[in-house]
Amino acid sequence: MNEVIKTQNLSIGYNGKPLMADINVSLNAGDIVALAGPNGAGKTTLFKTLTASIKPVSGEVSLMGRNLSDYSATERASMFSLVLTDKPDDMFLKVFDIVAAGRYPYMGLLARLKDKDREIVMQSLDTVGITELAERNFISLSDGEKQKVMIAKALAQDTPIIFMDEPAAFLDYPSKIELIHLMKRLSREQGKTILFSSHDLELLLRYSDQMWLVAPKKSLKVGSPKELVDNGIIDKYFPPISAKELFSPIL
Amino acid sequence: MSILILGLFLFVLNLIIGSVSISWNDFSKAVFEAEDSTFRSIIIDYRLPQAITALLAGIGLSVSGLLMQTLFRNPLADPSILGISSGASLGVALVVLLGGSALAGLSWWSTMGISMAAFIGAFLVLLLILSLSSRLNSMVSLILVGIMIAYIAGSVTDVLKFMGQKDDVHAFVVWGLGSFSSIGKAQLPFLGIVVAVGVVAAFLLSKTLNLLLLGQRYAENLGLNIRRSSMFVILVSGLLTAVVTAFCGPIAFLGLAVPHIARFLFKTSDHRLLLPATALIGMDLALFCNLIARLPGFDGNLPINSVTALIGAPVVLAVIFKSQKTIK
ipTM of this complex: 0.90
* Closest Cβ–Cβ partner in A51, A73, A93 for B213: A93
Helix B206-213 and helix B188-204, axial crossing angle in degrees, nearest 10: 50
Tell me how crowded residue B109 is: count the other CB atoms within 10 A of its CB: 13
Chain A residues whose beta carbon lies within 8 Å of the beta carbon of residue B270: 94, 97
Q: What was the pLDDT predicted at A112?
A: 84
Helix (H, G, I), strand (E, B) or coil at A4: strand
How confident is the model over B112-124, as pLDDT tens digits?
788 888 899 999 9
Q: Which residue of A has its CA nearest to B214?
A: A88
Nearest-Cα distance to chain A for B149, in Å, is 28
Residue type, A70: D
- What gap in Å lies between CA B279 and CA B259, rounded to an integer? 9
Q: Which residue of B has its CA nearest to A83?
A: B218
Nearest-Cα distance to chain B for A70, in Å, is 14
Average per-residue pLDDT for chain B: 85
List strands edge to edge, sheet with A80-83.
A80-83, A161-164, A193-198, A32-36, A210-213, A221-223
Residues 103-142 of A with CB under 8 A from B: 104-105, 107, 109-111, 137, 140
B108 pLDDT band, cuts 50/70/90, is low
DSSP per residue, A165-192 = SSTTTT--HHHHHHHHHHHHHHHHHH--
Helix (H, G, I), strand (E, B) or coil at A109: coil
Asked whether B233 and B167 are in contact (CB, 8 A), the reply is no
How confident is the model over A132-161, as pLDDT tens digits?
999 999 999 998 899 999 999 999 999 999
Beta strand pairing status for A161-164 and A26-28?
Answer: unpaired
- Out of B33-47, B78-92, B174-188, pick the least confident: B33-47
- What gap in Å lies between CA B95 and CA B110, rounded to an integer? 9
Tell me how crowded residue B29 is: count the other CB atoms within 10 A of its CB: 16
Asked whether B172 and B106 are in contact (CB, 8 A), the reply is no
Asked if pLDDT for residue A246 goes beyond 60, the answer is yes
* Closest Cβ–Cβ partner in B215, B221, B267 for A77: B221
Asked whether A190 and A158 are in contact (CB, 8 A), the reply is no
Residue type, B318: A
Asked if pLDDT for residue B105 goes beyond 70, the answer is no
Average per-residue pLDDT for chain A: 89
First to last CA, chain A: 55
Chain A residues whose beta carbon lies within 8 Å of the beta carbon of residue B222: 77, 101-102, 104-105, 157
Mean pLDDT confidence for A44-69: 92
- Out of A101-115, A124-138, B4-18, B26-40, pick the least confident: B26-40
Q: Of all helices (H) and strands (E), which one includes residue A8?
A: strand A3-14
Decide if A73 and B225 are in contact by the 8 Å CB cutoff.
yes
Q: What was the pLDDT predicted at B103?
A: 53
Which candidate, B71, B175, B204, places its Cα nearest to that of B129?
Answer: B71
Asked whether A27 and A161 are in contact (CB, 8 A), the reply is yes
B7 pLDDT band, cuts 50/70/90, is confident
Q: How many CA atoms lie within 13 A of B145 on its CB side?
A: 18
A251 pLDDT band, cuts 50/70/90, is low
- What gap in Å lies between CA B100 and CA B72, rounded to an integer? 38
Does B208 lie at the interface with A, CB-CB under 8 angstroms? no
3-class secondary structure per residue, A234-248: HHHHCCCCCHHHHHC
Does A82 lie at the interface with B, CB-CB under 8 angstroms? yes
In B212-233, which positions are buried (b, 16+ CB within 10 angstroms) versus exposed (e)?
bbbbbbbbbbbbbebeebbbbb
**Strand partners of residue B118:** none
Handedness of CA B96, B98, B101, B107 (dihedral sign): negative
Does B263 lie at the interface with A, CB-CB under 8 angstroms? yes
Q: What percent of chain B has pLDDT over 70?
A: 90
Q: What was the pLDDT predicted at B172?
A: 86
Does B26 lie at the interface with A, CB-CB under 8 angstroms? no
Asked whether A213 and A51 are in contact (CB, 8 A), the reply is no
Q: What are phi and psi of A216, to 5 degrees?
A: -55, 135
Helix (H, G, I), strand (E, B) or coil at A163: strand
Say which DSSP state B83 is in: S
User: Residue A193: CB partners within 8 Å, gap ≥ 6?
Assistant: A4, A5, A27, A28, A29, A30, A31, A33, A160, A161, A162, A187
Decide if B223 and A86 are in contact by the 8 Å CB cutoff.
no
- What gap in Å lies between CA A237 and CA A143, rounded to an integer? 29
Q: What are phi and psi of A162, to 5 degrees?
A: -125, 130
Indicate the burial class of B134 (C-beta count within 10 angstroms; 0-12, 13-18, 19 or more).
exposed
Q: What percent of chain A has pLDDT over 90?
A: 57
Which candidate, B172, B288, B181, B191, places its Cα nearest to that of B240?
Answer: B191
Q: Which residue of B has its CA nearest to A156?
A: B222
Mean pLDDT confidence for A209-227: 88
- What gap in Å lies between CA B138 and CA B135, rounded to an integer? 9
**Whole-angstrom Cα Rg for chain A:** 19
Q: What was the pLDDT predicted at B328?
A: 47
Nearest-Cα distance to chain B for A228, in Å, is 32
* Closest Cβ–Cβ partner in B211, B218, B224 for A82: B218
Residue type, A242: S
- What gap in Å lies between CA B288 and CA B10, rounded to an integer? 6
A vs B: CB pairs below 8 A: 79
Asked if pLDDT for residue B293 goes beyond 60, the answer is yes
Asked whether B194 and B240 are in contact (CB, 8 A), the reply is yes
Helix (H, G, I), strand (E, B) or coil at B84: helix
Helix (H, G, I), strand (E, B) or coil at A21: strand
Asked if pLDDT for residue B240 goes beyond 80, the answer is yes
